[in-house]
Structure 1
Amino acid sequence: MSPANDWVAADWIAVDWGTSNLRVWAMDADDRPLAETSSHAGMSSLTRDGFEPALLDLVVGWLDLTRVTDVVACGMVGARQGWAEAEYATVPGPPRGPQAFTRPRVRDGGIAVHILPGMRQDMPPDVMRGEETQIAGLLAREPGFDGVVCLPGTHTKWAHVSAGEVVSFVTFMTGELFALLSSASVLRHTVAADGWSDEDFAVAVEETLVRPERASARMFGLRAEALLAELSPERSRARLSGYLIGMELAGARPYWLGRDIVMIGARRMTEAYVAALRLGGLAPRIHDATEMTLAGLAAAHRQLLVERQHQ
């Protein structure tokens, strides 16, 4: 793949636009990435008028001035506070849904931007933006997949997928709780910013799966043990993660119990979930988040081309 500053002629451009970061890829006609780059111009840092300039700053060198280049984008770019609000597809249903692409107005005539919808679940209420594209990527690779997809992150999603549709999903704030507890609670004096203990993590997960209602007490116990028995900050970090992931697994048991499990996410966080699930004798499979995102965006671009043929 070419470095970001090399000139390439993109057949189309794939975009993953989150709250904090913007990632873009120049794609060829066979949906292979030719180049990639990123910036910190996430949705939360932009006004509505700032999205187009932020995108062009990264992709202008990939545009063929003799034609219009398609840009297919997923994530928070389609949120109410984003470039243009993309209506949610409804669960149960396919991850891209029947909705048309949302096409924000652009000043530059060299690009045509197409924003993918997120997904909504009315009962119990839940939403996702971006993860549905990774699920679509998995289905593009494994059309017959029937099981549960876990997407670890700041807000981890568990989605039941069957017959090409998202049947239901649930979101856990595990990553955000870990960040808050480790940096803005009494545990900030106890939990290291890095370091790990596999043994402490495993013990914490197993304890919490058995008695999840005791997790909050065990978390304060980290502070007490650090004061009274010099529990190391690295061991405290592993245990806090184990307590929180254990709580999540206890709550998500109806999703993962007895089902084929696929994990899609960043390596470090995904490995922690895999280790926790293996304690219960489960064997989750792992897919790279970027690969699934690109596969989902490519499937959406193919859908766009088909729609054009029928217009």
Structure 2
Amino acid sequence: MTERADWIAVDWGTTNLRAFAMQGATVLARAQSNAGMATLAPEGFEPALTALIGPWLGGGPLPVIACGMVGSRQGWREAPYRSVPCAPLGSRMTHLSTACGIDVHLVSGLAQASPPDVMRGEETQIAGFLSLNPSWDGVLCLPGTHTKWAHLSAGEVVSFQTFMTGELFDLLGTASVLRHALTGEGWEADAFEASVRETMARPERLAARLFALRAANLLEGTGPAATRASLSGLLIGAEIAAARPYWLGQNLAILGTGTQARAYRDALALQGVTAMLTDTERATLAGLTSAHRSLKARP
């Protein structure tokens, strides 16, 4: 890195730590490690961060803006939730100083009183999405381990709902009887679409249809590609059926461009709904950049 960064953006989740050397809104360098929140004790966060960004600090400490689970109760320090409806980013962040003189600023997550719900990290992605799409109103779907559906209006998060679909897929695929039917790679789009249609029509049959995947593997020789796609279709279909009050009749965007985001897009397309895909890293960096600008603007 030949140019000098003026701040560092950090996306610190449960399993990964990603850092970006920034000059204004421009990325000069990237670094990543598997030192996620789940792997660290409180005293381990500072060493994990300095080990990753140390090469960028030759000219002295730089301010760090961090979002994600680093600010959770189990993280480096808890950054209190802000209550919706509100703008995705607040005017204040939780500040802490490291032994080596780095000022770290943690972005607060969002909380909803009724029904109870929380997000941490997604608020920064939402802020970035809105900065990239000014005056956009509608619903943003943020697929992940815990997928969020957020209703956005007039620059605020009005409400949101979380689904554990990604975690259920992982648990069922690695710790349930279905793991025996998923050994192998591949994906069958027709099986995915059929399962989405089925669970959208009869969501109450989900538990029975899940076991039928194993039975089909045993009795009909259904391969892992079809089983994997069917499992995804059943779970995403059930989620989309439950989230209908969010997406019905709304402008809709999906955060992501990878396999999971495309699966949500394809499932929604079966309902006649068009959703645009947005790059996750771009939105995250745009949100962290907005947070950095607000920090610089403070007296």
Contact 1:83/1:104, CA 8 A, preserved across alignment: no
Q: In the alignment, which residue of structure 2 is the partner of 1:3?
A: none
Matched, 1:86 2:79: yes
Q: RMSD of the TM alignment (CA)? A: 1.2
Q: Aligned partners of 2:79 and 2:159: how far apart in 1?
A: 20
Q: Aligned partners of 1:247 and 1:161: how far apart in 2?
A: 23
Matched, 1:146 2:140: no
Q: Aligned partners of 1:32 and 1:192: how far apart in 2?
A: 42
Unpaired runs of at least 5, structure 2: none
Q: Aligned partners of 2:232 and 2:190: how far apart in 1?
A: 12
Measured against aligned partners, the alpha-carbon deviations of 1:51-78 in whole angstroms (never above 9, x if no partner) come to 1111111112212535x41110000010
Map 1:160-171 to 2 at 5 A: 160-171=151-162
Q: In the alignment, which residue of structure 2 is the partner of 1:36?
A: 30
Q: In the alignment, which residue of structure 2 is the partner of 1:17?
A: 12
State how many pairs are aligned.
Answer: 299
Q: How far is the alpha carbon of 1:266 from its aligned partner? A: 5.3
Amino acid at match of 2:8: I
Q: Aligned partners of 2:106 and 2:216: how far apart in 1?
A: 50
Amino acid at match of 1:304: L
Q: In the alignment, which residue of structure 1 is the partner of 2:214?
A: 223
Q: In the alignment, which residue of structure 2 is the partner of 1:302?
A: 293
Q: In the alignment, which residue of structure 2 is the partner of 1:27?
A: 22
TM-score calculated relative to the size of structure 2? 0.97
Q: Aligned partners of 2:136 and 2:278: how far apart in 1?
A: 13
Measured against aligned partners, the alpha-carbon deviations of 1:171-216 in whole angstroms (never above 9, x if no partner) come to 0000110111111111111124531000000000011111111111
Measured against aligned partners, the alpha-carbon deviations of 1:219-249 in whole angstroms (never above 9, x if no partner) come to 1111111111111121011101000000000
Q: Aligned partners of 1:256 and 1:305: how far apart in 2?
A: 36
Q: How far is the alpha carbon of 1:168 from its aligned partner? A: 0.5
Contact 2:257/2:278, CA 8 A, preserved across alignment: no
Matched, 1:203 2:194: yes
Contact 1:23/1:39, CA 8 A, preserved across alignment: yes
Q: Aligned partners of 1:192 and 1:8: how far apart in 2?
A: 47
Map 1:1-311 to 2 at 5 A: 6=1, 8-29=3-24, 31-65=25-59, 68-98=61-91, 100-109=92-101, 111-265=102-256, 267-307=258-298, 311=299
Q: Aligned partners of 2:246 and 2:180: how far apart in 1?
A: 35
3-state DSSP class of the match of 1:104?
strand
Contact 2:10/2:64, CA 8 A, preserved across alignment: yes
Contact 2:137/2:153, CA 8 A, preserved across alignment: yes
Unpaired runs of at least 5, structure 1: 1-5
Amino acid at match of 1:27: M
Q: Aligned partners of 1:278 and 1:223: how far apart in 2?
A: 28
3-state DSSP class of the match of 1:238?
helix
Q: How far is the alpha carbon of 1:8 from its aligned partner? A: 4.7
Measured against aligned partners, the alpha-carbon deviations of 1:98-126 in whole angstroms (never above 9, x if no partner) come to 4x2101231112x2111100000011110
